[in-house]
Homo-oligomer: A and B are copies of this chain.
């Protein structure tokens, strides 16, 4: 018998059956819906509400167990305290090896403390049925949106930004457009690692990158060169070894070649898969080289979780802090403000894979 309620015409039955609206509260309290909205909205500005009325409304709302409909609020007020998260890598990859999970730790905490909930837009990576041209537009459900992943579709992003929709990209961007981003300071971090190597006496240092010239990679390269230049060591593109397929490329033979030509340290970029780092370690082992003693290795990032070798010298990417910073930036945009400093520092990680070069300090240093 209580099924009939709130069916206007033949309208499809709504699932939100018995939930009270502001109108019901208003009726019970003997006031208007406006008043209910005013009282429950907690707006002190403009209109005045007497204490008794306020009590009546609150009492009625309590008795009916009123809760606001977020969709309606959003529609009316253009705010719903939701932040979208779009990841162009599976958000929860089955291969947990190297996922965006650590970012999300920070994202969730910061979002919670700022009073936002998160909308995880699924299927952004899987390229499934939803990956249409307007996949990103789902973001508009939220008040703003976080984008992670190296290969976010630039066009669509620009569209959002142009429409004034708050977007923050997690990871530095080069685009000229005004897309806000938050990223790790790879330049300084890489420089610090190189400076460290030089201080130990290394002069012939090689940088290995995977072949994907995104900012995360080029920044490291820049820091690498800067570190050498600052130390007065000549450098140039010939020091950088960019390889598309580390497995195939980083062979024991190549290592010996480098050693023969005087190389004493190798610096490796960290990537999603840690492909280069793995391959390099395998090659070192296969070549029977003693890592810290005969050859120093540094990793510009974190080792993969299944790495069971000694702690690699390098730096740690503060992923949780990056996530939090991104949320702060986004919250600022949503609130109509300007985000502040987009770069987050990486902490240098002393490790056991770097030592003074074999044969002591080279002559060059002593001159």
Contacts and interface: CB of A to CB of B under 8 A. Distances in A.
A213 B7 CA distance: 44
A162 B18 contact: yes
Given A18-B164, A71-B80, A108-B90, A121 B117 contact: yes
A72 to B, nearest CB: 5
5 contacts: A67-B140, A70-B140, A71-B141, A92-B109, A115-B130
Interface in A98-147: 101, 104-105, 107-109, 111-113, 115-123, 126, 128-130, 134, 137-138, 140-141, 143
Contacts of A163: 16-19
Contacts of A261: none
A128 B140 contact: no
B15 A166 contact: yes
Interface in A148-180: 159, 162-166
Contacts of A17: 163-164
Contacts of A108: 90-92, 120, 122
Interface of A: 12, 14-19, 65, 67, 69-72, 74-75, 77-78, 80, 82, 90-94, 96, 101, 104-105, 107-109, 111-113, 115-123, 126, 128-130, 134, 137-138, 140-141, 143, 159, 162-166, 320, 334
Contact of A159 (B65, B70, B109, B115): B65
A122 B143 CA distance: 16
Interface centre among A12, A123, A166 (most CB of B within 10 A): A123
Number of copies: 2
A113 B137 contact: no
A35 to B, nearest CB: 20
Contacts of A69: 75, 140-141
B90 A140 contact: no
B117 A119 contact: yes
Contacts of A82: 119, 141
A80 B122 contact: no
A173 to B, nearest CB: 21
A141 B70 contact: yes
A109 B119 CA distance: 15
B92 A140 contact: no
B129 A123 contact: no
B122 A112 contact: yes
A16 B165 contact: yes
Nearest to A124: B112
A207 to B, nearest CB: 31
B117 A120 contact: yes
A303 B163 CA distance: 49
Nearest to A126: B112
Contacts of A72: 75
Which A-B residue pairs are the 7 nearest by beta carbons? A112-B122, A112-B123, A67-B137, A70-B141, A71-B74, A118-B120, A14-B78
